[in-house]
Amino acid sequence: MVQVIAHERQIANTFLNPPDCRLFIFLYSFPRYLVRMRILVIEDEPHMLELLRKGLYEREFSVMTAVDGETGLEIASTYQFDSIVLDIGLPKLDGYGVISALRSRAQMAPVLILTARDAEDDIIRGLELGADDYLTKPFSFAELVARLQSITRRRRHEEGGTIEAGDVVVDPIRRSVTRNKLSIDLTRNEFLLLVCLARRTGQCVTRQTLMEFVWGPDHFVRPNTLDFLVNALRAKIDTPFPRKLIGTVRGAGYIFKHSEAMPAEAAQ
Ligand code: CA
């Protein structure tokens, strides 16, 4: 029996009811940096899981949990996390299987693995498969928090770089977009949608992932709001150009196509 416990942030209200226009602009400019850090903990030992969940929540993290590898992988593939705490010995799918599957799906959330003391082979294998750091049990909570903050900062720094997808260049820091060297003016939500798609060029991005990225995990928007937003983005980034980049994957999501490799007539 699997239990999934979600403790979501309450700061969403701040976004929905901005008390001050300047704050509104500031918050909307850096939406992912001002919310609670979102952590997924995948651990099968009930006492350890509760310790982690409670301790992280008390330290202002937003925590979701899973008690087996399959469920953890499903949650990690569905929602966005700032980092993942992953036990290696797990039922159904072990920690190695979880990391491999995540990385093969281009899910790049940083992963911190938990291992038994002196399990050097576990650590090496985990890091080789794509884990970002490790802790051996028992560990201090202060160290866990420091490590999580460190791997998250590192990943954000990496993500902060310019995204180049064919003739489209997206600069998340300057919040600018050009296509074929022409500047394109996007709204905040259009920009976030483009960043989410362009970072995963050539891959289907699920509707859930896109909605989470744009509106956050506590969003209350209707599903067709995403379709309206995609159409608005297409009007700016695709309509003026012969090659169409944003494709629909029916029943699943959207895909940002490689511009140089795609004939215009194949695009939607
Ligand atoms: Ca275990």
Q: Tell me the pLDDT tens digit for each residue of 161-188.
A: 778 888 899 887 667 899 988 999 988 8
34 pLDDT tier (thresholds 50, 70, 90): very low
Q: How much is the pLDDT for 152?
A: 83
Eight-class DSSP state of 162? P
- Centre of ligand 1 to C-alpha 224, Å, is 41
Task: Specify which of 157-161, 167-171, 245-249 reaches the highest per-range mean pLDDT.
Answer: 245-249
For the whole model, what pTM was predicted? Answer: 0.54
Bridging pattern class, strands 83-87 and 37-42: parallel
- Centre of ligand 1 to C-alpha 45, Å, is 6
159 pLDDT tier (thresholds 50, 70, 90): low
- Centre of ligand 1 to C-alpha 123, Å, is 14
- Centre of ligand 1 to C-alpha 6, Å, is 21
Amino acid at 6: A
253 pLDDT tier (thresholds 50, 70, 90): very high
Is the CB of residue 244 less than 8 Å from the CB of residue 254?
no
Is the CB of residue 148 less than 8 Å from the CB of residue 167?
no
Is the CB of residue 256 less than 8 Å from the CB of residue 210?
no
Q: How much is the pLDDT for 137?
A: 86
- Centre of ligand 1 to C-alpha 111, Å, is 16
Q: How much is the pLDDT for 225?
A: 94
- Centre of ligand 1 to C-alpha 89, Å, is 4
- CA dist 207 and 249 (Å) reads 10
Rounded mean pLDDT, 134-149: 90
Is the CB of residue 78 less than 8 Å from the CB of residue 99?
no
Q: 231-236 long-range CB contacts below 8 Å, 24 or more apart?
A: 232/187, 232/190, 233/186, 233/190, 233/193, 233/194, 236/184, 236/185, 236/186, 236/190
Q: How much is the pLDDT for 88?
A: 92
Rounded mean pLDDT, 222-243: 93
Fold of 2-159: Rossmann fold (3.40.50)
Is the CB of residue 134 less than 8 Å from the CB of residue 126?
yes
- Centre of ligand 1 to C-alpha 113, Å, is 11
- Centre of ligand 1 to C-alpha 68, Å, is 9
Mean pLDDT, rounded, of the chain: 79
- Centre of ligand 1 to C-alpha 91, Å, is 8
CA angle 91, 86, 204 (to 5 degrees): 95
Residue 97 pLDDT greater than 70, yes or no: yes
Q: Sketch the domain layout of the chain as residue ranges.
A: 2-159, 163-256
Rounded mean pLDDT, 99-115: 83
- Centre of ligand 1 to C-alpha 107, Å, is 22
Provide the CATH number for the domain formed by 163-256 in this structure: 1.10.10.10
